[in-house]
A and B are shown apart, each in its own frame.
Chain A
Amino acid sequence: MESATIDQIIDKHRGEASSLIQIMLDIQGEHHWLPREALDRVSERLQVPMSRIKHIATFYKAFSLVPKGRHEVHVCMGTACHVRGAQRVLDTVQDLTGISPGETDPEMKFSLETVNCLGCCALGPVVELDGKHHGNIDPGQIATVLENCEQGKSQGPTTR
């Protein structure tokens, strides 16, 4: 964790306390989590008390106070996905990655989360991997999708 990159992010938002959430989102985007040192720096530079930062960091699901893997897997468990077999999808993802929802594997490759609706019920069951939606997914396809993500990243930005 470079404090220079944190300062860069803070400078981008002109160090304004009103941009706190945006700054936290940028740090989260950059590092996949909010390290303590980064939050200390934000608190110091923006003159925002740590209690407030902690409240925000724990309020929004978008933030994480523990390290996350390089790839974030979101399995939709919403009603439409549920009736189309989301549980089998989740079971398969858990088997392949070896982690349960909320966990990160020791190699820091994947973090797994369940979500309640991704807003594209017609595509159910849906798995979101690093922001890319994989709709109508069959448990048999999941291994391929998970394997491809490391190469997928080097191919440039994925469409959302």
Chain B
Amino acid sequence: MDFFHHTFSDVYARKNNWLTRIDVRVKLFYVISLLAINLWAKNIFIPLLFLSISFIVLFSIRTPLFAILRSMLIPISFAILILIVKGLHEGEKEWLSLSIVGYKMTFREEGLRSGLHTCSKVLGGISLVITFSFTTTISRLCAGLKWFYVPNTMIELLAFMYRYIFLLFDEVSTMWTAQKSRLGHASWGKMIKSSGVLCGLLIMRAFDRAERTYEAMYVRGYDGGSILTVNLSPWRKEDYASFIGMVFVAPMLVYTGNIYVW
């Protein structure tokens, strides 16, 4: 649970810097088009370019390297797995052969190239997503999604869930620690049963809290209508400049991404 507490935080998105000040719609345009270009790319240079630019941009707003690497830990392990699996599975030309615990493993050149390509796409894509999430708060994201005609009900649920996840996390962490200190996790079997009880309590508390929240909303005039109140301000000069910059840069990235290197 510690992992989620450390990673699952919008602390960087709440800071005031040049990236958090950019309009969420511009950032959404950027992230969606760059992700598409990243997928489309036929060489590893475009994804690696996205990875490097994301790192530079995140360093420019003083995001700690450790925070970036912590977020990328799981995708990196997946990327390595893909590289190895493809290296072992695809192609004919033998590149490297080794024996691990008696099993002969042969890495093939074509497979490693293809694996490296996918691996770079994973790293490029995930770095773009991380850059977006490190610079955008959930309330701005909701406002941006509303502008993109995502259904109100879905955005309301997103806002609700996000708001209460942290609160429930704290409650669960307290109960989890209490269970652990009272030998509730002494054996594997006990731990499963304790998890069941903990989750049951979580559902019961969530149900009670939902009733209390509804009462509070009802008092404030909620009758089942829309609850979204965040409105976006008009674009500033910088936002227009960023958007126009994207319009010019995108075709160049598409062109460069289309060049076959191997």
Q: Do A and B bind each other?
A: no
Q: Which A residues are within 8 Å of any B CB, using their own CB?
A: none
